[in-house]
Amino acid sequence: MRILGIETSCDETGVAVIDAEHGLLSHALYSQVALHAEYGGVVPELASRDHIRKLLPLVRQALDEADTAAPDLTGIAYTSGPGLLGALLVGAGVARSLAWAWGLPAVGVHHMEGHLLAPLLGDEPPEFPFLALLVSGGHTMLVDVQGVGRYRILGESLDDAAGEAFDKTAKLLGLGYPGGPALAALAEQGDPARFSFPRPMTDRPGLDFSFSGLKTRALTTLREARTEQDRADVARAFEEAVVDTLVIKCLRAVQETGAERLVVAGGVGANRRLRERLRAAVGAEGASVHYPPFEFCTDNGAMIALAGLMRFQAGAGEDLTIRARARWNLAQG
């Protein structure tokens, strides 16, 4: 079984070929981040326009690198949602139509399912069941994963996603867009004891998150900031607060579910301080922490090809409708 996977839900165009026996055969990625940086955020219409120009050349590249032609393929998987509707429609339209032309089945997969299965692309894939923390610019959620398609959302952000809070606060610090990694770098120079930010929603039971207040706190604290050191101290206080909050909730989820494995996926999972704290805290509970290979932390086609492969193995296949869903609850499958 060999699957072509296509991802266009936001500002990355990703295509990959995966084989049930031989693993990932190729993956091609084009990031629009430079395009949107000029506008200080993702412009949906520009994202759609870029996807339609870039997708087919990437499909050709991924197939060539995988030495794969139509007769070698079993099916085509595409990101059906959630995400930017116009952007999703490009990938869904090309994928569904290509599958029709080749007489192959197609399946629309959930973007977050791709993320939470991405650690299975690594050398030491975690076994089911596991707990998944999905932290990106678009999502923050804790998911109990019993198997493919068996997901229970334990908690999620009620406002900004963690990565979104990073990017917005980075903007306040004058670090450009997307500034999450730059904020983390600046925080390295900061004094963790200088300012203390709250740990939102940790003083009550439950596993939901809220990060928009931290951005406001950063804004008010920055009004007094005069020097580069002041700014670094604010960055550090903000990062400490986000990381600490994520760790507290993960620990709580591990204790409540008795999970033996925690999977961390999404762009924020690349944050060094988050990785260190999670390893220590979750390790102390006797659970292991797993990450996708670095290149598959952010949006990519490989995770969609993988999710598609697992869906096809479970017998998936759809009619000729091109399915794009801006909103789609992961737990509803």
Partner 1 sequence: MKLLSIETATEACSAALWLDGALTSRFEMAPREHTRLILPMMDALLAEAGVRLADLDALAFGRGPGAFTGVRIAAAVIQGAAFGADLPVVPVSTLAALAQQGLDAGATRVLAALDARMGEVYWAAFEADSEGLAVPAGPEQVVAPDAVPVPEGQGWRCVGSGWGGYEQALRTRLGGRVSDIDSSPYPAAAEVARLAVRDFAAGLAVPAEQALPVYLRDKVAEKPKT
User: Does 61 engage in binding with partner 1 (CB under 8 A)?
Assistant: no
Nearer to partner 1, 4 or 201 (CB): 4
Nearer to partner 1, 95 or 234 (CB): 95
Q: Could you tell me which of 114, 16, 149, 99 has the C-alpha nearest to residue 321?
A: 99
Of 40-48, 110-118, 125-133, 272-280, the window that binds partner 1 (rule: CB under 8 A) is 40-48
Q: Could you say which of 3, 90, 132, 303 contacts partner 1 (CB under 8 A)?
A: 90
List the structure tokens of 294. 């670095």
Nearer to partner 1, 6 or 281 (CB): 6
Q: Could you say which of 2, 96, 217, 261 contacts partner 1 (CB under 8 A)?
A: 96
User: Does 55 engage in binding with partner 1 (CB under 8 A)?
Assistant: yes
List the structure tokens of 31. 């990031």
Please say whether the beta carbons of 137 and 161 come within 8 A: yes
Alpha helix ranges (H) inside 133-178: 162-172
Q: Could you tell me which of 133, 130, 136, 135 has the C-alpha nearest to residue 148?
A: 130
User: Does 23 engage in binding with partner 1 (CB under 8 A)?
Assistant: no
How far, in Å, are 20, 71, 102, 129, 325 from residue 310 at the CA level? 9, 20, 21, 15, 21
User: Does 304 engage in binding with partner 1 (CB under 8 A)?
Assistant: no
Dist. CA 84–CA 45, nearest whole Å: 9
Q: Could you say which of 97, 202, 210, 212 contacts partner 1 (CB under 8 A)?
A: 97
Q: Could you say which of 15, 16, 28, 92 contacts partner 1 (CB under 8 A)?
A: 92
Of 35-43, 189-197, 211-219, 295-303, the window that binds partner 1 (rule: CB under 8 A) is 35-43
Rounded to a whole number of angstroms, the minimum distance from the CB of residue 325 to partner 1 is: 11
The residues with which 76 forms a beta bridge, in sequence order, are 4, 106
User: Does 316 engage in binding with partner 1 (CB under 8 A)?
Assistant: no
Rounded to a whole number of angstroms, the minimum distance from the CB of residue 128 to partner 1 is: 33
Query: What values do phi and psi take at 6, rounded to 5?
Result: -130, 130
* 140-147 sheet: strands from edge to edge: 150-156, 140-147, 130-135, 261-265, 288-290
User: Does 155 engage in binding with partner 1 (CB under 8 A)?
Assistant: no
Q: Which residues contact 275 (CB under 8 A, 6 or more apart)?
A: 264, 269, 289, 291
User: Does 30 engage in binding with partner 1 (CB under 8 A)?
Assistant: no
What is the contact surface with partner 1 in residues (CB under 8 A)? 38-40, 43, 45-46, 48-49, 52-53, 55-57, 59-60, 70, 85-86, 89-102, 319-324
